[in-house]
Amino acid sequence: MTNPLLAEWQTPFEIAPFDRIKDEDFAPALEEALAAHRAEIAAIAESSASPSFANVIEALEAAGKALDRVLSVFFTVAGADSNPTREALQRDFSPKLAAHYSEISANKALFARVAAVWEARETLDLTDEQNRVLMLTHRGFVRSGAALSGPEEARMKEIKGRLATLGTQFTQNLLADEREWFMTLSEADLDGLPGFVVDAARAAGAEKGLGGPVVTLSRSLIVPFLQFSPRRDLRERAYRAWMARGANGGETDNRAIAAETLHLREERARLLGYDNFAQYKLETEMAREPARVRDLLLQVWDPARARAEADAQVLTAMMHSDGVNGDLEPWDWHFYAEKRRKADHDLDEAALKPYLQLDRMIEAAFACANRLFGLELRPLNVPLYHADCRAWEVIRNGQHVAVFIGDYFARGSKRSGAWCSAMRSQARFPQVQAPVVINVCNFAKGDPALLSYDDARTLFHEFGHALHQMLSDVTYESISGTSVARDFVELPSQLYEHWLEVPEVLREFATHAETGEPMPQAMLEKVLGAANFDQGFQTVEYVSSALVDLAFHDGPAPVDPMEKQAEVLAALGMPHAIGMRHATPHFAHVFAGDGYSSGYYSYMWSEVMDADAFAAFEEAGGAFDPERAEALERHILSTGGSREAEELYLAFRGRLPGVEALLKGRGLIAA
């Protein structure tokens, strides 16, 4: 019987046949796909024909399609619906894949042919896009160690394999800690909690097969618990567990993994001729060098810390007036900030949440895409990997554009956070392929499911990434969609968040779950007026994480990352009552893989641009100005990585922004 992962997918739009794929299919499919890819690479490397763009670069673009299909399915289910079998497969696959790609980058005959095409580029009459793909291919080989030889080449291969294994271990340890910890609540412990938190706690207890409510380490449950529980002892217990993820000792402790990872990254960078990993990593980003990153972060840090410290004084006074003496602690901040928000803005999250139904917010994200880009999303009834998932066909002018899959609810088998990935990326070579894009979130279940305002912002954020994938219009998959500089990739997603704050969008889609009535004008004004509430806290917890990440990589690797983390925070004057958004043992952005290592700053780098980009709409005809929308698609959303990120932004806006737009947008300086 043919392995369904390797057979032709006779499904609508060639979506993976999830109903026919079993866990036991993955390992044999991977072995066969790896063998096929090796044969394709050998054919390119050993060809007797003179090297050309077609028989080297385009041949590389066309190779590995079977492997891509197997991995797209596997990593989708491994991240969003894991089980012990899939976790074991992931531990097995990671070093195999690292070795496979190291073998390709170390193939001397292949690199010689790539280099020959690169050297002859001026004579080849290539298009701009082809020149870009050639440059990126050649640079990728060089940066992965293709020019190394002898012991250095062998060591590079070892490092890559070990880093892949460590990244998988880090992820699985974190998932295990998040999955295993919970705090049971008595009926008395529910006093003071709004209905939506009680419902979420009961649903979490039911998922774990328990008879009563629990608090888990799902962000969509623990954050509102910290906001609303009047029980300071329970808040402390929950907060400490949240911050201790990956640092509980035993088999799931990530601290030694982080230390080894940092040392291997430094060694990798030095083998390639760089002083440290940050120099290596940032060379291909918009920022280019660590000094520019540090300068941006410190420009934001000082006003953010000043705001946070002023806020801490107010919250401390509120706590003391409640008869609680001593210092404001991290497990107090959310609780008193919520009280303050209710007092200052008369905005009660429990009253707000019924207006933020998940289904209506999905409709809102889709409706904005329709007004801006003419996209229509129609429900698709196809088998998916979990009953929670939904699918839509994306259409424009009657033509198929993409398939979009949404997987919105938290569960024990799903890693924390939210992300967007392409199960298939847009391309026109070697044949036309329309994208299949997935958004994965971790919202609390309910009937109906209700979101916090932050949840709704996350939904828009991830759909912004999805638009970047769906509207891609390039020839080659290697530069498609979100295949851009890491500090540019967050621009479309963070920019799309702004449409959630457009009053007419909230008026239409923020309707009450029971009455169907639109959000009252007074509440709407409070929501928008409170948009910058607690930005000192939010900015401090983010920037501190970004500065620790940079410090880890911009210099010799620390012997003890926890000691280095403490040193950086002390030098910054980190406020006592605020913790890092991602402390080292659960900093998955940095240690689960290479993606955001030395690059966590990129959210803020992109935010400098997104604040300025949305201002371009406001300066024109408003949030739905058709000319600005067309320019956004033409210069940014459709172009993928076909040009340098700075060039793309200049084409859209005509200039690069300063940090002032970000500071004003966050309310950290006067507008």
**Choice among 462, 490, 497, 633 that is catalytic:** 462
Q: Domain spans of the chain?
A: 12-147, 181-245, 251-347+535-600, 354-529+603-665
pLDDT score of 500: 97
The fold of 354-529+603-665 is Neurolysin; domain 3 (1.10.1370)
Question: Using an 8 Å Cβ cutoff, are 540 and 305 in contact?
Answer: yes
CB atoms within 10 A of CB 207: 18
272-281 CB burial, b ≥16 within 10 A, e <16: bebebbbbbb
436-443 and 399-409 strand pairing? parallel
Architecture of domain 251-347+535-600: Orthogonal Bundle (1.10)
Interatomic CA distance for residues 619 and 652, integer angstroms: 14
Distance set, CA 444 to CA 76, 77, 130, 204, 225 (Å): 20, 20, 45, 9, 12
pLDDT score of 274: 97
Interatomic CA distance for residues 169 and 591, integer angstroms: 10
Stated length of the chain: 671
pLDDT score of 665: 83
Chain-centroid distance, C-alpha 275 = 28
* Shared fold status for 12-147 and 354-529+603-665: no
As given in the structure block, the two tokens for residue 362 are: 């999905």
| CATH classification code of 12-147 | 1.20.1050.40
pLDDT score of 671: 64
Is 462 a residue of the active site?
yes
pTM of the model: 0.92
As averages over each run of 10 residues, the pLDDT of the chain (671 residues) reads 93 97 98 98 98 98 98 98 97 95 95 98 97 98 95 95 96 95 97 94 93 93 96 98 97 98 98 98 96 96 96 98 97 97 88 96 98 98 97 98 97 92 98 98 92 95 98 98 96 97 96 96 91 94 98 98 98 98 97 94 94 94 97 98 97 92 86 64
